[in-house]
Amino acid sequence: DAWRAARVVKAEGEQTRLELDDGSSLQMATAEAQKLDLCGVSMNLDMENLVDLDAFSEGSILHHVRKRYYQDKIYTYVGSILVAVNPFQRIDIYGSSVVKHYKNSVNSSEPPAPHVYALSADAYDHMVSGQGNQSVLISGESGAGKTETAKKVLNYLMEVAGSPGSGKKTIADQIMESNPVLESFGNAKTLRNDNSSRFGKWMEVNFNSRNKISGCRIVNYLLEKSRVTQQTPMERNYHVFYMLLAGADPALRSKLHLASPDEFAFLNKSGCTMVKSWDDEEEWAAMNEAFKTLQFSKEEVEDIYSILAAILHLGNVEFEAPDGNTDASKVSNDSAVKSLAKVSAILKVKAGDVEASMVQKLSQMKGRASVIAVKLTVAAAMSMRDALAKALYGRMFDWLVVRVNDTLNSASDNDSRHVGVLDIFGFEVFAHNSFEQLCINYANEKLQWHFNDFIFNEEMKMYKSEGVPCESMTFKDNQECLAMIEATGRNNGEGVGLLKLIDEQNNLGTSGTDAKFAAAANQNHGKDSKTPNAYFEKNKTNPAMFSVGHFAGPVEYDIAGFVEKNADSTSESLEGMARTSEIKLVQKLFERPPTEGPSATGPRGTPRGGDKGRKTANKAKTIGSQFQNQLTSLMTSLKSTMPHFIRCVKANHEKVPHKFDGKLCLDQLKYAGLFEAIRIRKAGYSYRIPHDGFARRFAITGNNQLLKLYIHKKMKPMDVCRRILENATEQGVIARKNWEVGKSRVFLKGASDKADMEEFRESKCHDMASKIASVLRMFMVRKKVFKEKFERKAREAKIRMQNEKNGAAAIICQTAFRGHFIRKRSRDLKLIVQLKISMRSQDEEKIKDAIVAFEGRRISSMAENVLYEAKKFLMEMKERQKILYDIKVALETEQLGDLQDLVERAEMLGMGNETAVVDAFLMVSRIQEKRNVHRKLLDFLEDDSQHSESIQELVDSARDLGIAERFLTKVEVAYKEVAPKLQVRQMLRSGVEEVNYNKIKEGLEQAEIMTKQMSEEYDQGLRSKAYKDFCIVEKAAARRVMKMLLLEADLTKRSMDDLMLDLKTDDDDEEEGIIISEEGSRLTTEKVKLCESIANAETPILKEDAREELMRECGSRREFDETVRSYKWGKIFASWKYDSDNPAKQPDEDESFFGLHPADAYERSIVNQNAIIVQLGGGRTEEEKKQDDEREVDLRRGLKPTQKSSASLMQTPTKKRYYGAGDTLVVPTRKTEKQIRKEKLDMGMGGSRNVTGYEMRSSSRVGMSGDMKKMLKSRQRVMKKKMG
């Protein structure tokens, strides 16, 4: 950016640190910082008119324009100048409603916001109010929005002054419709703008006596004709060529031999034929509609299209040297010949005449009257072709403007007032500047002179209206620069102007050159000339370059082509050929001016002297002279109007919204001459501050009396300002010549004066702040002391008063509360008693009434609890009633599921004593029992092995429960069939449980007989598999017990008869068909109870007592050991009794003792006898298998493992060792020899024995008595007798 707003953060020594408006920091030298302009207090305000800035500079203006642009406020005033920044987007700030708003706000007390409508309204109002003709001058570079701004001005005038239409187009409509026509022919796409105006335009909108639009006159300036034949890369020719090719209908395309733009040389060389923002077909339709509105005839429109097509085809005509003759030329090839034929056909001219006019020119020999044809080179022929194309287009454009004026001025009064709108090219500076830029910048210099003169006069008017002396104020204008360009050289001390010097070179004919012009310019305006001009500077290194110091900055021009571009002459041979065209418009474009009569012509209508004579006869007809005359006429018109200035600014080159290029915009503001207004203003008093603002800010610099007078408005602000400045002058802060007090504002000469006043104010503020601080501190101390004293007394008084009030109030409150409490409590107690009585009597209606009495009033917590209990009791009563009713219904329907749920709910509510509940409970129990018994009987009928032991009890229960007798008879029949089997199974079970060898043997014999019988029935299909497997578990257990008894007999070297001697014999206990013997039972019921007492004892003392009782029951140590072993065998093998979870557990397939050898199983049953239960089964580890094998070998050799001491039976186990899955062996704690002998002595057993080995000592002490031997032999005889 060129300028940025900044704030001084720190200034120490030679460096100053600044903070920019975007938050970034900048370090710079203090000396450089002091040279910068002050921003002023208005920097952070939203200023609509920048003339009100207290600091007027380039940077401040650029800052406010940028800030408003980013707020989508594209218009800003600088005095009476309107700055319009192109937003490159649509902004909703236009339309009929906005026009009406600005029309009504013209004479309002508040100035309207900056807007093009506001400026237009001001111009129109001045004209209507009789202040003469008005003009709106719009300038800016290409792409800044000049054309659009001019349309907005015209749009406002059409809205407020257009005559209402009556179904046909009005003059206002025709004026607006002239824009599409002129834009199509005069606008083109450039690098900077897609719709750039390539000509200047002055429009005088005329108004009648009723202030309504009556007509319009348009004047065009300096059309860029060179664009017709060549364009800069990525630019386009004039829009109308592309519109013709895109929008023409098939008939017109065929007639004019039209094709695509890529096929025409005048269009395809720039590389750009399409523009996104310009729709050629749509604009073609708008242009044709505008032709109709402007009353163009059909013939005129067709002639225009013919000329455009002829120009396009001319571009495709190429030339070459015939037969190597470089001094001559001809049409080069067939394509060029065809294009030439199309030109001839479209223009309706002979093809030979068209070619002849371009390849030769007519010349008259010196001293002769005859005219000869001189052949032209290829380059000259190409120039003639381009000259014809430019002449056709340029003259057609001039005719088009005249033709539009004929329509727009048809009803205009000669003495009508007008508002002029000037849309002209802005100041141009390129890398390469030529004759066109000189003319454009010359026009801008003229307009700037007019602008400066207007601004200076405005300043003088303002100073005079404020009463400020201004006689000594002057400013340096650009009159000297204008004289260098346009002077005629007739005045003394004045050189010949640049335009005049170029015309002189054109008057010399072919001898005039660009180099001679450069020499003449330096001779007239250079430093070494007689009339040097400070605005002219010759390039020291390149004589073909010179520089002009324009108001916006120096511009360097290249003189190449100046003379040729200024000539604007067309060969007489081309004009003569054009006059032979049968198209009326072409004839009109090339008709001779009235000054060229027959006397001035030679043979065949050519001027005497040929083309040379033509140039001599029209010396003044050059581009420069024509443009100078047009500008003179324009300035005459402008001087007769009151000007209004609009400076259009292009925000950025990329044409994108919300991007502000500060450097670019600053240059445009300079080129627009805006900062000339700053220079003019700084020539006087640059800082202007309203009286009230100045007094409010600087009144503190005066004495206290002055400040009081201002604050209380007892002195006018103007007098306050004068007193302030006089006081500052007396103290040497500001010189008297550097300030004035006007009628409405204070004027300061420069930034330094403003800074001095600010510094003076700062020092005064510091002094006053010190005084205020001291007074404030004193006041705060006094306030604190008095406040504490007052607050203390107030607190004491308040406490006394409050205590008195509290005492009296407490008595009153207590009295009222006690009475209220007693009354309320008595009412609550009555209700509570009533409610409890009702609950006790279970009177539902009274309970409800009591509850209602409590509602709607405040009650005590006790009453709340009683009320809650009552509501709960009421709900329970309802629920009890419902349950009783449901039970009654369920009893009638005998719904077991409902009865069960209802009985459970009734028990939860404490209704178990209710008759209905008891009946329901009994019925549920009876039904459940009946179903259970019935289910068991059905199971027995399906499988007589189930519930067979309790069939008789089940049948008795079934009769009591009312089960059908027929069903029970069937069960009894089935039971009679299975009774023998049950008796055999019971015999086996009791034999195993009692370890009774006789019962086991007898049961096995009978079981085998029944099994054989049932197997035959199973094979015949009469029985199920359950009968085939009859007593399989019991038989397996019986065989194992028998094996254990036989093994014991073998190990103890005793026969079975010896083992049974001590058992009683009862030969009379027999039943029919089956022998049941009670002899030989090792385990009686009493012994089993004692063994279980030992196993379940919780303390060593209890265990010792149970052991001694079992010892007494047995009578001997041997019987004691046999009893313990038998108890273990019953625990192991009687699975139906001790394994209730799996009573039908199948035996091992190999009839082994659960994976153990029988000898090993016996050993495990007699070792560690303090553990009653030893679990057998499962696999063994390798070490265990090895140990078992060794023991089996020892047994086969006759070695017997030593029995453990019976004393160890009562020891407490401390450790377990596992023999695989499910195998557990309880290992006792090792005892010393002394402990073992003591235990034996306690039991009456003498001697010693090895408790750790496997040897067994025979001793008479452990032998059987004589009575025991007799009893054993008796039982053996009984067993032999029973076994046959």
Residue 764 has a pLDDT of 86
Residue 1058 has a pLDDT of 64
Query: What does pTM read for this prediction?
Result: 0.57
What is the four-CA torsion angle of 678, 681, 683, 686, rounded to 10 degrees? -100
Tell me the three state secondary structure of residue 1064: coil
Residue 512 has a pLDDT of 86
pLDDT bin (cut points 50, 70, 90) of residue 1268 is very low
Cα–Cα distance, 1016 to 1023 (Å, whole number): 9
Residues 205, 418 contacting (CB under 8 angstroms): yes
Q: Mean pLDDT across the stretch 415-428?
A: 84
- Higher-pLDDT residue of 1212 and 567 is 567
pLDDT bin (cut points 50, 70, 90) of residue 59 is confident
The per-residue pLDDT for range 389-398, each reduced to its tens digit, is 999 999 999 9
Assigned token pair, 591 = 């008709």
pLDDT at 343 over 80: yes
pLDDT bin (cut points 50, 70, 90) of residue 153 is very high
**Of 237, 246, 301, nearest in space to 272 by CA:** 237
Assigned token pair, 947 = 């519930």
Residue 240 has a pLDDT of 95
Q: Mean pLDDT across the stretch 585-612?
A: 55
pLDDT at 1243 over 50: no
57-61, 137-141, 683-687, 1217-1221: least confidently modelled range:
1217-1221
Residue 1025 has a pLDDT of 55
The per-residue pLDDT for range 441-477, each reduced to its tens digit, is 898 888 888 888 887 777 788 888 888 887 666 666 7
Average pLDDT, the chain: 78
Q: Residue 12 — φ and ψ, nearest 5°?
A: -135, 125
The per-residue pLDDT for range 47-58, each reduced to its tens digit, is 888 877 767 778
Assigned token pair, 1189 = 């094998």
The per-residue pLDDT for range 93-102, each reduced to its tens digit, is 999 999 999 9
**Of 725, 762, 726, 732, nearest in space to 746 by CA:** 725
Choose from 17-21, 49-53, 163-167, 1272-1276 the range with maximum mean pLDDT: 17-21
Cα–Cα distance, 571 to 613 (Å, whole number): 11
Residue 436 has a pLDDT of 86
Q: Mean pLDDT across the stretch 586-596?
A: 78
Residue 1231 has a pLDDT of 45
pLDDT at 620 over 60: no
Cα–Cα distance, 834 to 827 (Å, whole number): 11
pLDDT bin (cut points 50, 70, 90) of residue 1194 is low
Sign of CA dihedral 483, 484, 488, 494: positive
Residue 1007 has a pLDDT of 83
- Higher-pLDDT residue of 950 and 293 is 293
pLDDT bin (cut points 50, 70, 90) of residue 1259 is very low
Reduced 3-state DSSP string for 512-574: CCHHHHHHHHHHHHCCCCCCCCCCEEECCCCCCEEEEEECCEEEEEECCCHHHHHHCCCCHHH
pLDDT bin (cut points 50, 70, 90) of residue 167 is low
Q: Mean pLDDT across the stretch 109-113?
A: 81
The per-residue pLDDT for range 1158-1182, each reduced to its tens digit, is 455 555 555 433 333 333 333 445 5
pLDDT bin (cut points 50, 70, 90) of residue 374 is confident
**Of 235, 157, 231, nearest in space to 191 by CA:** 235
AA identity, residue 385: R
